[in-house]
Amino acid sequence: MNADVKQQLAPGGVLRAAINLSNPLLVTGKAANDDPQGVSPDMAAAVAAALGVDVKLVPYSNPGLVADGMAKGEWDIGMIAIEPERAATIAFTAGYVQIEATYLVRAGAPFQTVEEVDAPGVKIAVSGRSAYDLYLTRTLKHGELVRGSNLANATVVFGEQNLPALAGLRPALIEDQKKFPGSRILPGMFTAVAQAVGSNPANKEAVAWLSEFVEKLKADGTIQQWIDKHGVTGRLMVGDPR
């Protein structure tokens, strides 16, 4: 490892790692000290161990706040979804895990495919500033997004406003479906959300090292072991090789 990598990622001797608490697949519980537990915290801990430093988890209630934290200098690495809008200020590794994003539709809704949801007058509940919100903001031609503050709040918006569709990650929508009798999850996906390790683009050596480190953990089975350990097998998939 280049000596600059450790200096760039943990100049104070502690790696500050941003964790998005709103994704229940990536953060599945809490430790005795209230630190989040899950695949994302495991990734943060693995990076710190490889650097030979301690890790400090910096929790955020939604991914938009994680992104904001980079500009404020609040973290050294961030567990965050790859999104072109964020790439201007955050350097991403390839995804270490990925999740399908699709729609939950209300009972009686006419939609059979994800493409049919993008129609005039159709309001879609979505977790504001999530990667799939940013994707839909760029790509929807007719549908209207109604944003909640996070995934749980978007589900409340979907129910309280009687909206026809809720955008989300398929595994979370499977749980949400139980709350709405007769609702359906549409087949296929409108995008796949890849969760990556983000860092400061100015730190070229650190960016390159993180990218190689993530690929190693995908290839040697470590990330699949984390997925199995935290009980999200079949809902989180190891990211595609770079």
Decide if 38 contacts 26 (C-beta within 8 A): yes
Q: What is the CATH number of domain 3-97+193-238?
A: 3.40.190.10
The correct CATH number of 99-191 out of 3.40.50.20, 3.50.50.60, 3.40.190.10, 1.10.1040.10 is 3.40.190.10
What is the three-class DSSP state of 70? helix
Taking 80 as the threshold, does the pLDDT of residue 1 lie above it?
A: no
Is pTM beyond 0.95? Reply is: no
Please give the pLDDT value at position 228: 97
Give the Cβ contact number of residue 221 at 10 Å: 11
Taking 90 as the threshold, does the pLDDT of residue 151 lie above it?
A: no
CATH 3.40.190.10, the chain: domain bounds:
3-97+193-238, 99-191
CA dist., res. 2 & res. 33, Å (int)? 33
Place of tokens 């953060």: 27
* pLDDT tens-digit readout, 57-87: 999 999 999 999 999 999 999 999 998 888 8
Average pLDDT over residues 3-25: 94
Please give the pLDDT value at position 155: 97
